């Protein structure tokens, strides 16, 4: 689409309604199957920065339209461990089948913290849902940092955490998809070291950047030395008052800022299939 065509599209009036005190807002008044103006994209991006995770309902979009929307916010990247759709490798299926007991990503985490440049964000679209359950909970990492004592903040400020792709808590929930959809390099162990206290590159706010799925130990410390403090942080950063909970419907979309949130898909729908399409947006190196 030419620049002239984009600027000719009329802006849509968004209705942005918070769903919880900590984070999260539902946006209506926009049809993501249609081309969006630059002004509308700017408003959606600002809503993401303000609310950390934003939700859209009743979006009947194709994979091409899903990708077109995502690319208005940055470069899309392939997930390193699992194959994407045959015609759309940037889109992976996040699926749990009827006979499976573990769900993909089924624990509190930040996506791909083991990458040198973790994602900016993720855009997840509900394709097939269970009869009940399967909600996703999100947590605000600004609040997780801000509510620490000044003494704890000073302790954490100079620390870096080593993040790994192969921690047992993260490997088990994705094993079924590795078994049936693995990339050739899926057994490669990815590792990256990032600041424990991260500064968001757009808002300039500080946040807590460790997570129970990938953060193994503090750089320069042993596992045993790191475990008590990491355990406290993992417990602290998902306190109920830091969270919101989203109940999916077919055609629902969640778009979260992966730099300042964590999420946890609730595994409470055994015997049912749940299938989502996920697109990942390229990020930058935490600092």
Among all residues, which ones are annotated catalytic?
Answer: 109, 111, 263, 278
User: Going edge to edge, which strands form the sheet with 136-140?
Assistant: 243-246, 136-140, 261-265
Per-residue tokens: 175: 């094993």
| Rounded CA separation 102/213 (Å) | 15
Query: Which residue has 């689409």 as its token pair?
Result: 1
- Among 264, 258, 265, which residue's Cα sits nearest to residue 283? 258
Q: Are 36 and 9 in contact (CB under 8 A)?
A: yes
C-alpha distances in angstroms, 87 versus 11, 82, 132?
31, 15, 31
C-alpha distances in angstroms, 219 versus 29, 144, 193, 282, 287?
47, 21, 8, 25, 15
- Among 126, 157, 149, which residue's Cα sits nearest to residue 274? 126
C-alpha distances in angstroms, 159 versus 111, 201, 287?
20, 19, 12
134 torsion bin: left (phi>0), alpha (psi -120 to 50), beta (else): left
Task: Give residues with Cβ within 8 angstroms of 7, minimum separation 6.
Answer: 37, 38
| Rounded CA separation 4/17 (Å) | 32
| Rounded CA separation 281/86 (Å) | 19
Q: Are 275 and 128 in contact (CB under 8 A)?
A: yes
- Among 249, 274, 282, 279, which residue's Cα sits nearest to residue 104? 274
């Amino acid at each position: 689409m030419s620049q002239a065509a984009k600027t000719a599209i009329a802006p849509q009036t968004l209705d942005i309604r918070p769903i919880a005190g900590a984070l999260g807002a539902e946006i209506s008044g926009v049809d993501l199957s249609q081309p969006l103006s630059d002004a509308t994209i700017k408003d959606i991006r600002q809503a993401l920065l303000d609310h950390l995770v934003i939700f859209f309902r009743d979006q009947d979009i194709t994979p091409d339209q899903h990708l077109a929307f995502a690319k208005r916010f940055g470069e899309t990247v392939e997930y390193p461990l699992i194959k994407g759709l045959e015609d759309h490798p940037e889109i992976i299926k996040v699926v749990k089948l009827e006979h499976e007991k573990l769900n993909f990503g089924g624990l509190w985490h930040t996506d791909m913290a083991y990458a040198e440049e973790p994602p900016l964000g993720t855009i997840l679209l509900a394709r097939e849902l269970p009869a009940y359950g399967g909600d996703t909970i999100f947590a605000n990492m600004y609040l997780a940092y801000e509510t620490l004592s000044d003494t704890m903040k000073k302790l954490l400020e100079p620390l870096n955490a080593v993040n790994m792709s192969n921690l047992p808590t993260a490997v088990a929930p994705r094993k079924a998809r590795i078994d049936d959809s693995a990339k050739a390099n899926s057994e490669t162990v990815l590792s990256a070291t990032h600041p424990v206290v991260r500064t968001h590159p757009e808002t300039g706010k500080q946040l807590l950047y460790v997570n129970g799925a990938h953060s193994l130990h503090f750089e320069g410390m042993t596992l045993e030395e790191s475990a008590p403090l990491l355990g406290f942080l993992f417990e602290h950063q998902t306190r109920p008052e830091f969270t919101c909970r989203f109940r999916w419907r077919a055609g629902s979309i969640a778009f979260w800022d992966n730099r300042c949130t964590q999420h946890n898909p609730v595994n409470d729908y055994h015997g049912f299939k749940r299938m989502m399409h996920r697109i990942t947006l390229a990020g930058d190196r935490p600092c």
